[in-house]
Structures are given as C-alpha cells and as structure tokens.
C-alpha cells in the first residue's frame, strides 16, 4: 500500500517500493516519452507541410497526441500523480534535439526528416510496450479497460507500420545517388 492506502497487490515492489509506486514511475517515464514524441511528430508534420511526407505524418501526429492524452486519462483513473518535471524534461529534450545541424545550417537537411522518423519509430515501439504492459495489468486491475488498451495497441501497431514505411522510403530518397 502507498501512503494513501492504495495498492496494486499483483505487482511486486523492488528495493522497498510497492507496485503502485513503481507503476507511477513507469507511467511518468512513458509520459515524458509521449510528450517528446507528440512534440517531435507535430514538428515534423509542420516542417514538411505541403509535401507527401507532411501529409502522411499529420494524422500520425494527431494520433500520437491523442495517445498521450489517453495515457494521462489512464494515470488519472489509477490515481497516479503526474510528475511535471518529467513532462518538462520531455519537452526540453525534444527541443534540444532540433539543434543538430545534420550537415546543413541554413536550411533543413534531408537527414532531419529521416532521423525524426527514426525517433518516432523508437517512440512508438516504446508506447507499444507501455500499452502491452498495461493490458497485462488490466486482467487484475478493474480501473484499466482491456478493450480500450487493445484499441490503443492496435492503433500504435498501425502507426509503427506506417512510420516504418515512411522511414524506409525517406532513407532510399536521402541516400540515392544523383
């Protein structure tokens, strides 16, 4: 039990921490990643506006932002506090990542979109892991909706397929000779 009397009995704590505390840390870490991913996807969609890539990434950016809101809703249902410093760290990390020149200082490098797609790919893979973990917990925790989590998993897997396809095409375009 935590100091507010809540417990998640099927989670075994490590180093004296109970499952509830560990789940809070875990989901806050994923929230930081979701914040970074939502910002990066929005930035990529905006930077590529008017192109095929921008048109393909815009709905993914919207879905990633919705998934972040879904994570916040899950945390509220579980009565897990949001650690704002982790959210701020996610935003700061995403903005710091924009400072790389990728070989071009005055205009956007072709590498920028490729690397941003790879970052999104990694982020969505992490999101799949989080939804999968929560889905497993839903069998024992009534505040978790297994059907909602199944839908979130399906959507994340579709995002991953789309991002992987976009990344492969962008890599081919970037490295093909003149």
Nearest to 101 by CA among 117, 115, 120, 118: 115
CB-side exposure of 51: number of CA atoms within 13 Å? Answer: 12
Based on the structure, what is the number of domains in the chain?
1
Please name the residue that has the structure tokens 């991913």: 37
**Domain residue limits at 142:** 19-175
Q: How far apart are CA 91 and CA 42, in angstroms?
A: 12
Return the CATH number at 129. 1.20.1260
The tens digit of pLDDT for each residue in 52-111 reads: 999 999 999 999 999 999 999 999 999 988 877 566 565 566 655 555 555 544 566 778
Give domain status of residue 9, yes or no. no
Please name the residue that has the structure tokens 């560990």: 22
Give domain status of residue 96, yes or no. yes
Q: What are the structure tokens assigned to 143, written together?
A: 């505040």
Q: What pLDDT score was predicted for residue 86? A: 65
DSSP letter at 8 equals: -
Q: What pLDDT score was predicted for residue 13? A: 42
Q: What is the pTM of this model?
A: 0.82
CB-side exposure of 173: number of CA atoms within 13 Å? Answer: 14
Give domain status of residue 4, yes or no. no
Give domain status of residue 14, yes or no. no
Give domain status of residue 3, yes or no. no
Give domain status of residue 32, yes or no. yes
The tens digit of pLDDT for each residue in 11-56 reads: 544 445 578 888 999 999 999 999 999 999 999 999 999 999 999 9
Give domain status of residue 170, yes or no. yes
Give domain status of residue 1, yes or no. no
Tell me the average pLDDT across 155-163.
98
């Amino acid at each position: 039990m935590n100091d507010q009397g809540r417990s998640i009995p099927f989670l075994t704590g490590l180093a004296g921490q109970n499952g509830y505390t560990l789940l809070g840390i875990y989901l806050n870490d994923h929230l930081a990643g979701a914040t970074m991913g939502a910002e990066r996807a929005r930035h990529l969609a905006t930077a590529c506006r008017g192109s095929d890539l921008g048109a393909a990434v815009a709905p993914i950016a919207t879905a990633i932002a919705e998934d972040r809101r879904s994570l916040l809703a899950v945390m509220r249902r579980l009565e897990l506090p949001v650690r704002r410093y982790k959210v701020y760290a996610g935003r700061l990390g995403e903005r710091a990542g924009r400072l790389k020149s990728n070989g071009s200082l005055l205009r956007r490098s072709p590498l920028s979109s490729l690397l941003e797609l790879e970052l999104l790919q990694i982020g969505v893979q992490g999101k799949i892991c989080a939804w999968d973990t929560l889905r497993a917990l839903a069998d024992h925790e009534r505040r978790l909706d297994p059907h909602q989590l199944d839908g979130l998993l399906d959507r994340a897997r579709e995002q991953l397929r789309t991002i992987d396809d976009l990344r492969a095409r962008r890599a081919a375009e970037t490295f093909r000779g003149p």
